[in-house]
Amino acid sequence: KMALALERSVAFSAVRLACRIAERVRETEVTALAKTDASPVTAADFAVQAIVNNVLRKSFPHDAMVSEESSDQLRGNTPESASMRSKILGFLQQVDPAATDSDIDAALDFGKFPEGTVPSRFWTLDPIDGTKGFLRNDQYAIALALVQDGKVVLGLLGCPCLSQKLGTDSPRGSIFIAQHGAGCAMVGVDGSLDTAAPVRVSPGADPTQAVVLESVEAGHTAHDVSSVVLKTLGVAVPSVRMDSQAKYAALARGDGSMYLRLPRPGKRYEENIWDHAAGLLAVEEAGGKVTDVYGKPLDFSLGPKLTANTGVVATNGLVHDAAVAAVQAALQAATSH
């Protein structure tokens, strides 16, 4: 019997349900609550987190969870918060007809643990990774991962808008399931776990031919530094721009061979674990490599942030050393100006 078999199947059904509801939210209404860090948060963020956590807490009531949203944002007797709660409940009831208003808080706050402590086993979720992509009917991801003893052991990426083969009109919607030591597989959003097919990173070892996956949003990576990196490597093919951890998914199945998330020179930015945990495992289990800009493995044992790491370099493995060297040179040049 496979290790984590229950976790794998429960997580898969949670992500598959969430993909369906996220698309439904997007079709019916896209309203953004102003969030403190100015990223648009939609009813979808809350609905997806409520749905995923609601599924997880039934099978794993004692597990810990690190997720992006909290029910604090829905407290207070404002008309906005009341209307948002009733929307969330409506979506939750589409998958769990018996759900009540109090289930919203229980689900959103599932697995909360005291700040400053790190459980040896916890889930981490980004309900809608790439909110701006979601808002403009483009790429976004539902990213769920399980971390044990500081290592990501299970990672799922639900990508409702990622066609099953890039650049074709094949059906939209793919779910990636990666498990430590067991590979990475992909299945359509309507598929089942046992029909998922293994994916592998691209076989290209020549950095000049590397298809680079980049963020659409300028705020997410230092584009000027990354253009220096691509020049240094002599990359001669156009980049592919897409939002969210869909980039990790695309890398895992060979649509590109490099994804850089670089710090802005002179700025300290710590990555959130939920932005990388599932994507990292998908790429590693598909045969690729993920490190920070210094070539160090990402350390998930420190809490909600990757405090021991700077930036992220993800590749098909074959161009990794060249990419890390070029990134370091470009960052040094940028900080010495």
Q: Is 254 left (phi over 0), alpha (psi -120 to 50) or beta?
A: left
Mean pLDDT to the nearest integer, 65-74: 84
Of residues 97 and 239, more confidence is placed in 97
Backbone phi, then psi, for 50, in 5-degree steps?
-65, -40
168 is catalytic: no
What's the pLDDT at 223?
64
C-alpha 222: how far from its chain's center?
A: 19
Would you call 120 exposed, middle or buried from its count of C-beta atoms within 10 A (0-12, 13-18, 19+)?
exposed
Catalytic residue among 42, 45, 103, 292: 45
Active-site residue among 103, 126, 129, 131?
Answer: 131
Whether the per-residue pLDDT at 197 is higher than 60: the answer is yes
pLDDT at residue 31 is higher than 50: yes
Cβ proximity of 157 and 248 under 8 Å: yes
Which pTM does this prediction carry?
A: 0.93
How confident is residue 63, by pLDDT bands cut at 50, 70 and 90? very high
The residue assigned the tokens 């067991």 is 182
pLDDT of res. 84: 84
Assess whether 45 carries a catalytic annotation.
Answer: yes
pLDDT tens digits, one per residue of 72-86: 888 877 887 888 888
The percent of residues in the chain predicted with pLDDT above 70, rounded, is: 93
CA distance from start to end of the chain? 57
Q: How many angstroms separate the Cα of 149 from the Cα of each of 53, 76, 275? A: 21, 37, 19
User: What dihedral do alpha carbons 161, 164, 165, 168 form, nearest 10°?
Assistant: -60
Task: Give the pair of three-digit tokens for residue 67.
Answer: 């997720």
Residue from 55, 201, 182, 219 nearest 127 by CA: 55
